[in-house]
Structure 1
Amino acid sequence: MHIHILGICGTFMGGIAAIARQAGHTVTGCDANVYPPMSTQLQEMGIELMQGYGREQADIGADVFVIGNVVRRGTPLMEEILDRGLPYRSGPQWLAENVLASCWVLAVAGTHGKTTTSSMLAWILEDAGLAPGFLIGGIPQNFGVSARLPGTPAQDPASRSPFFVIEADEYDTAFFDKRSKFVHYHPRTAILNNLEYDHADIFDDLRAIETQFHHLVRTVPGNGRLIVNGREPSLARVLERGCWTPCESFGVEAGWQVGQVADDGGFEVLLADTVQGVVQWALSGEHNRMNALAAIAAARHVGVPAAASIAALSRFANVKRRMEVRGTVAGITVYDDFAHHPTAIATTVAGLRQRVGTARILAVLEPRSNTMKLGTMKDALSGSLIDADRVFCSAVGLEWDPSQALLPLGDRASTFRDFDALVDAIVAEARPGDQILVMSNGGFNGIHETLLARLAAARA
């Protein structure tokens, strides 16, 4: 089958492309904007990428067009597909029909931590020899790819692994299907990691998102398992609306807990006050410890003992663009992180602060998500950056003024509507020992490489 994917360079649709190619299909795709790491991954797989959504692509010979949720009515290629009655599916629908229907699906839902927790869970299953398939909204460094089909488990070389780990997004499916993506997946094991207001472009309020999570809960069978963050009142409200599946909690005394935390980041894992083991790793932050608890609990549901999961996490290499070191120049380290919601920004900065102690943190932010572009959460922005020593914020493409939102930070914060001026200001400010933390859910004009090059030139 020939599949042509519209919006192929998004992390989810890029994962669909990888899985379809691995399954033996011919895969081509198009997108309006192409940037790493997804474009690099697709090119390495030999998938042909086309710039834009021209009507001529309808004649490419595809058996089905798979439509990403970035595509809207009025897009020339989409209009041609509709006018000619050509077959099309959303990405989640194609995945559900062609891959997930035969799998034990482990879904990771939540406002924050989906990518990291999904990566932890997939790695735990892989380390246990279970060879899971997965589709993750990032590239786990233990695997080097964002998606793959289930493989051959070590325990039964004659079979194919039944397990598939998927990052379960609450964003809508496509312009013709306004349900959340995750209702298509029908998981048997589901993590509900947390739940806050986000996606202000499609949800009016938190209650609307809770309704979508309620719909997800309705799809989990009675012999499945829900792994639920016990600290979240929003998730408690979701379960109060109906729950037909056994639940395990984490983050509270009645369930999985973090015990003692060592100075090097290692921590005890407790279940019902009984120590299950100690995770020894380089990751920092309470959010990562909570992610780990959820992954350990979910893995136990498919038969991986807690001790084995804890040992696997000690070999977990994190995800690209999650506190990823992009380089060091003259003692100045540049990090790349995907944080874009105020809560994620706060936990990311706090995690780096825990790691680097009193070293200066220069936070560089691009408010690029749909929610941030609308300015819905601008009042929370300054509080999320309170642990940074200096803040540099891009105002490119924003209709609101971030300088007003950052006023509580005083002269620690600066806003720029010109990319080169932003980079120049960071380079002028940076000194040996500084930690430059870049946060964006997009390419940010390749700022990491630009910063490293200009820092090197300034100190040559």
Structure 2
Amino acid sequence: MQKACHFYLLPIGGTATAALAGLLHDAGERVSGVDAVLYPPTSELLAELGLPVRLGFDPAGIPADLDQVIIGNALPRTNIEVQAVLQRGLPYTSQAKAFGDRFCRSGRTVVVAGTHGKTTTTALASHILTTGGLDPTALIGGVPRGGRPWRLGHGGWTVVEGDEYNTAFFDRGPKFLHFRPHIFVVGNVEFDHGDIYPDLDAILAAFRAGVALVGGDGHIVANTGDAGAQQVAANHPRAVGYGLASHADLACKDWGHTDGHLRATVRWQGQLFDLETPLVGRHNLDNLLAACTCALLAGIPPEAVAHAAASFPGVRRRLELVGEAAGVSVVDDFAHHPTAVGLTLEGARHRFPGCRLVAVFEPRSLTAGRRTFAAAYENALARADVALLAPAFHRVRLGPELALDCEALAAALVARGVDAEALREDSDIVDAVRRHVRTGDAVICMSSGEFGGLPRRLLERLRRDG
């Protein structure tokens, strides 16, 4: 029997790194790791596995018997444990390369890429392939409701979320370049990650590099309704389109919402069939069509695809209802790019018909916190009835010249009829939200970070106040 390898994850608490830890553990390897702090749900998942996880970076804690260090892109070269790994000459690799080398060797890997919708599409594609009997391995950048962000399968298929962000401090290319795609999904392409991409052309070039990895018998699955996706897939001989366009290979003929579910009638290879899934919003129609296209290309019959899509549980932090109290619904969402913020609020209108929407937004990432998107955020947040803006998380690092001016944004929203407020740095955000909400409201908390546990804390406050 082959001796298990010892992998040390540095850090281990991110969704993707925790998912890789889970996969390696399920594959019979030894896994340990470190992080500065852990948050749910990954803290809960790691605890379930019983993995040795240390809090606080300390070179003295690096295991002496490790076989490989896996370094995530969250850590810079200046991290004290990273420096120790380099100084000691320990073997190391990136999270993306470690996953690709171990789990993308079968030649049947589905890589789901795009500026928005990757996590939901990846989770849905994994769910359909699993329910359809293909037994895939999967790594998802979010946690499916009632499940885990990874799955170790034995059917030869792999489904992975393909992030365009940089791989690690020692590998500035996109993560998806490590995944050996058989099917490469391009859901949408917009400008994002302004800290590493100078403009949209640079992002388009990155996606084209991903598409170029698809083998001769593989497919590019592209959204016919997105200009960026069409630029990337243009003239590719193995491009397969999905969307509302009549010429799409998986063409949506009709769609709408029924009882809080998304439904659609689609055509594939001359056959019409119906799809339904417990998701809402125009953006989730795209996610549904993308995942179903992958499943159809994998050989799952249309009726089996439809059956599987109907039982999809959704993903945590994607319009996730955390709870209700005092007649107020509290929702947690990962939206951070202005397009995603707008689509999330649009979806919330369907999920909470007749409710006043109170948007609480934290510009968390380096890109979200820049002035670049000020006008786009104004248009997105104008879909809410109330908009409360937390200070940009990286405002000090960006400086006043580059940081998003939340007060100016709030003023612009007020001019458009939105009850908007830019929250002060020293304000209690729960108190601020509580002042604005009333019975019948839906509070949509949006951040790419943990937002100080705002949804949970707000719910507790509402229950306490009665």
TM over 0.5: yes
- For the residue of structure 1 that corresponds to 2:421, the secondary structure is strand
The answer to whether the 8 A contact 2:121-2:288 is kept is yes
Who is 1:288 aligned against? 284
Letter in 1 for 2:152: L
Of 55, 59, 81, 2:59 maps to: 55
Q: Which sections of structure 2, spanning at least 5 residues, go unmatched? A: 396-402
Give 4+ residue runs of structure 1 displaced > 4 Å after superposition.
Answer: 272-275
Q: Distance in 2 between matches of 1:76 and 1:409?
A: 44
Deviations 1:138-178 (A, max 9, x none): 11126x1001211xxxxxxxxx3111110011111111111
Structure 1 residue 419 displacement after superposition: 6.6
Q: Distance in 2 between matches of 1:97 and 1:272?
A: 34
Of 72, 79, 82, 2:86 maps to: 82
- For the residue of structure 1 that corresponds to 2:43, the secondary structure is helix
Who is 1:157 aligned against? none
Sort the Cα spacing of 1:132 and 1:301 in 2 relative to 1 into closer, same or farther, 3 A: same
Letter in 1 for 2:162: A
Q: Distance in 2 between matches of 1:75 and 1:327?
A: 38
Structure 1 residue 309 displacement after superposition: 1.0
- For the residue of structure 2 that corresponds to 1:183, the secondary structure is helix
Q: Distance in 2 between matches of 1:199 and 1:447?
A: 25
- For the residue of structure 1 that corresponds to 2:112, the secondary structure is strand
Q: Distance in 1 between matches of 2:72 and 2:237?
A: 32
- Asked if residue 351 in structure 1 is aligned to residue 358 in structure 2, the reply is no
Letter in 1 for 2:44: T
Q: Distance in 2 between matches of 1:69 and 1:299?
A: 30
Q: Distance in 2 between matches of 1:356 and 1:293?
A: 24
Of 198, 209, 213, 1:204 maps to: 198
Aligned length: 448
Structure 1 residue 358 displacement after superposition: 2.5
Structure 1 residue 137 displacement after superposition: 0.4
- Asked if residue 147 in structure 1 is aligned to residue 150 in structure 2, the reply is yes
Letter in 1 for 2:167: T
The answer to whether the 8 A contact 1:182-1:216 is kept is yes
Deviations 1:313-354 (A, max 9, x none): 111111011111111002111011110100000000001112
Who is 1:254 aligned against? 247
Who is 2:263 aligned against? 267
The answer to whether the 8 A contact 1:229-1:250 is kept is yes
The answer to whether the 8 A contact 2:356-2:440 is kept is yes
Structure 1 residue 272 displacement after superposition: 6.2
Who is 2:112 aligned against? 108
The answer to whether the 8 A contact 1:258-1:267 is kept is no
Of 368, 372, 375, 1:372 maps to: 368
Who is 2:48 aligned against? 44
Q: Distance in 2 between matches of 1:47 and 1:276?
A: 48
- Asked if residue 222 in structure 1 is aligned to residue 216 in structure 2, the reply is yes
Q: Distance in 1 between matches of 2:251 and 2:130?
A: 24
- Percent sequence identity is 34
Q: Distance in 2 between matches of 1:360 and 1:65?
A: 49
C-alpha RMSD of matched pairs (Å): 1.8
Who is 1:135 aligned against? 139
Structure 1 residue 376 displacement after superposition: 2.7
Sort the Cα spacing of 1:307 and 1:328 in 2 relative to 1 into closer, same or farther, 3 A: same
- For the residue of structure 2 that corresponds to 1:326, the secondary structure is strand
Letter in 2 for 1:389: D
- For the residue of structure 2 that corresponds to 1:186, the secondary structure is coil
- For the residue of structure 2 that corresponds to 1:406, the secondary structure is helix
Q: Distance in 1 between matches of 2:271 and 2:360?
A: 39
Structure 1 residue 263 displacement after superposition: 4.2
- Asked if residue 458 in structure 1 is aligned to residue 465 in structure 2, the reply is yes
Of 323, 337, 342, 1:341 maps to: 337
Q: Distance in 2 between matches of 1:27 and 1:403?
A: 46
- Asked if residue 181 in structure 1 is aligned to residue 183 in structure 2, the reply is no
Q: Distance in 2 between matches of 1:128 and 1:249?
A: 20
Structure 1 residue 203 displacement after superposition: 0.4
- For the residue of structure 2 that corresponds to 1:409, the secondary structure is helix
- Structure 2 length-normalised TM: 0.92
The answer to whether the 8 A contact 1:331-1:434 is kept is yes
Deviations 1:352-371 (A, max 9, x none): 11232221011111110221
- Structure 1 length-normalised TM: 0.93
Deviations 1:72-112 (A, max 9, x none): 11111111111111100111111121221135101100000
- For the residue of structure 1 that corresponds to 2:84, the secondary structure is helix
- Asked if residue 325 in structure 1 is aligned to residue 321 in structure 2, the reply is yes
Q: Which sections of structure 1, spanning at least 5 residues, go unmatched? A: 151-159
Out of 272-281 and 53-62, give the one that drifted further.
Answer: 272-281
The answer to whether the 8 A contact 2:123-2:315 is kept is yes
Who is 1:438 aligned against? 445
Structure 1 residue 40 displacement after superposition: 1.3
Q: Distance in 1 between matches of 2:187 and 2:26?
A: 30
Structure 1 residue 380 displacement after superposition: 1.2
- For the residue of structure 1 that corresponds to 2:387, the secondary structure is strand
Who is 1:405 aligned against? 409
Who is 2:75 aligned against? 71
The answer to whether the 8 A contact 2:11-2:72 is kept is yes
The answer to whether the 8 A contact 2:253-2:267 is kept is no
